[in-house]
Amino acid sequence: MQATLAQLCETLKKHGMKPELEGDAGQNIHSVTTLEDAGEGQISFLSNPKYEKMLQQTRAAAVILKPDVPAPDHLNLIRVVDPYAALTVLIVKVHGYRQHRRVAPSPTCTHIVESAEIGENATIHPGASIDEDVVIGDNAIIYPGCYVGPRCRIGNDLLLYPNVVVYDDTIMGDRVTIHAGTVIGEDGLGYAPVGNKWIKIPQIGYVEIGDDVEIGASCTIDRATLGKTKIGSGTKFSNLIAVGHGTQIGENCLLVAQVGLAGSVNVGEHVTMAGQVGVVGHIRIGDNATLGAKAGVTNNVPDGETYLGAPAIPITEMKRQLVHIQRLPELKQQVKQLQKQIAALEARLSDEVEAK
């Protein structure tokens, strides 16, 4: 949607911001992009001072930036305290969210078992399969190659990108989005040892996903052995994340790519896990905790704490530990020096004793 800079400022004001416009208020904007790529009719932003010199070269029609940052005279500017927040508002205003083509089910290639109930206004693409006794709410968009297993119960406004697989008995709330290739509800690694062999334990639990959850691409979320694996409302996942059986994740968490949670982990609300974090089974990650990239978490993490390292410890301790490790050569040198001094002292003392 095209809009003038004046109109964009109005939008920001409605979001509680106080934009100051410098330059041509009537300038038309048709899209948002990076300082580097921007050209005619495009607005961009500068948030990180590291990139300030790019203001000199940009061909953007306007730039969003902080009140005190110097900029070339010819540039149209929207000055706000938090340019990135303003940017996100304007992306929604100018571009909106992805539109999805609506299609009628193909008589030959959309495989919806008769006992499935699908709400109004659904788009089930050819090549998708909906199995027995599934219930899905209104406005579902299900792309090709998706499979929804028996007895799943899913709310309104479901969005499944291509090739998502949802195993039997999964429960989802409203406004759930799952990106391509993700698998929900597969069996966990549940085997009983009998001699040297592993005998499969039927995994009779299920997965429950709350409202407003978005899961990235190619994640795997195990069903529980008994009871449920749970992803709380408002939680967002990046890609290639593994969640073990029976793990329960609270609301509004943010998990970065390649995180792995073992089974029966209990994760609080609003927890952040950076990339490649691993968490062992049967522990608790407290509300508002943060786990740094590649952390290997082996013990409970208290509410609000930031842990780092493998095994993970509070970040301040880990940083101190790293400094100590970096200074090991120095420490070794000091010990060597002490050894010399002591040898010298011992020799002097012996000399004196002899001298007497």
Report the residue number, 25 or 109, with the smaller CB distance to a copy of itself.
Answer: 109
Report the residue number, 173 or 216, with the smaller CB distance to a copy of itself.
Answer: 216
Q: How far apart are CA 95 and CA 307, in angstroms?
A: 38
CB of 333 to a copy of itself, least distance (A): 10
User: What is the number of alpha carbons within 13 Å of residue 303 lying toward its C-beta?
Assistant: 4
Residues 68-87 that bind a copy of itself (CB under 8 A): 84-85
Q: How far apart are CA 186 and CA 180, in angstroms?
A: 16
Q: Is 276 in the site for a copy of itself (CB under 8 A)?
A: yes
How many residues bind a copy of itself (CB under 8 A)? The answer is 122
Interface residue with a copy of itself among 158, 160, 217, 291 (CB under 8 A) is 217
CB of 339 to a copy of itself, least distance (A): 7
The single residue of 125, 179, 245, 270 carrying the catalytic annotation is: 245
Q: Is 286 in the site for a copy of itself (CB under 8 A)?
A: no
CB of 314 to a copy of itself, least distance (A): 13
Q: How far apart are CA 154 and CA 173, in angstroms?
A: 6
CB of 120 to a copy of itself, least distance (A): 24
Q: Is 218 in the site for a copy of itself (CB under 8 A)?
A: yes
Q: Is 230 in the site for a copy of itself (CB under 8 A)?
A: no
- The Cα-based distances of 98 to 43, 161, 175, 321 in angstroms read 19, 12, 14, 46
Q: Is 322 in the site for a copy of itself (CB under 8 A)?
A: yes
Residues 132-191 that bind a copy of itself (CB under 8 A): 132, 143-145, 147, 150, 161-163, 165, 167-168, 179-181, 183, 186-189, 191
Q: Do the beta carbons of residue 240 and residue 222 sit within 8 Å? A: no
Q: Is 269 in the site for a copy of itself (CB under 8 A)?
A: yes
245 given a catalytic annotation:
yes
Stretch binding a copy of itself (CB under 8 A), from 2-10, 20-28, 65-73, 223-231: 223-231
Q: Do the beta carbons of residue 255 and residue 275 sit within 8 Å? A: no
Report the residue number, 155 or 232, with the smaller CB distance to a copy of itself.
Answer: 232
Report the residue number, 153 or 236, with the smaller CB distance to a copy of itself.
Answer: 236
Q: Do the beta carbons of residue 123 and residue 138 sit within 8 Å? A: no
Q: What is the DSSP letter of 202?
A: P
Query: Which tokens in the block code for residue 253?
Result: 């968490």
Interface residue with a copy of itself among 91, 135, 283, 315 (CB under 8 A) is 91
Interface residue with a copy of itself among 36, 57, 67, 347 (CB under 8 A) is 36
DSSP codes of every residue in 67-119? TT----TTS-EEE-S-HHHHHHHHHHHHH-SPP----PPPTTT-EE-TT-EE-
Q: Is 321 in the site for a copy of itself (CB under 8 A)?
A: yes
* 3-state secondary structure at position 249: strand
- The Cα-based distances of 85 to 19, 46, 89, 174, 242 in angstroms read 12, 11, 7, 26, 31
Q: Is 260 in the site for a copy of itself (CB under 8 A)?
A: yes
β-pair partners for 192: 199
Residues 115-134 that bind a copy of itself (CB under 8 A): 125-127, 129, 131-132
Whole-angstrom distance between the N-terminal and C-terminal Cα of the chain?
A: 100
The secondary structure element, H or E, covering residue 238 is none
Q: Is 6 in the site for a copy of itself (CB under 8 A)?
A: no
Active site residues: 245
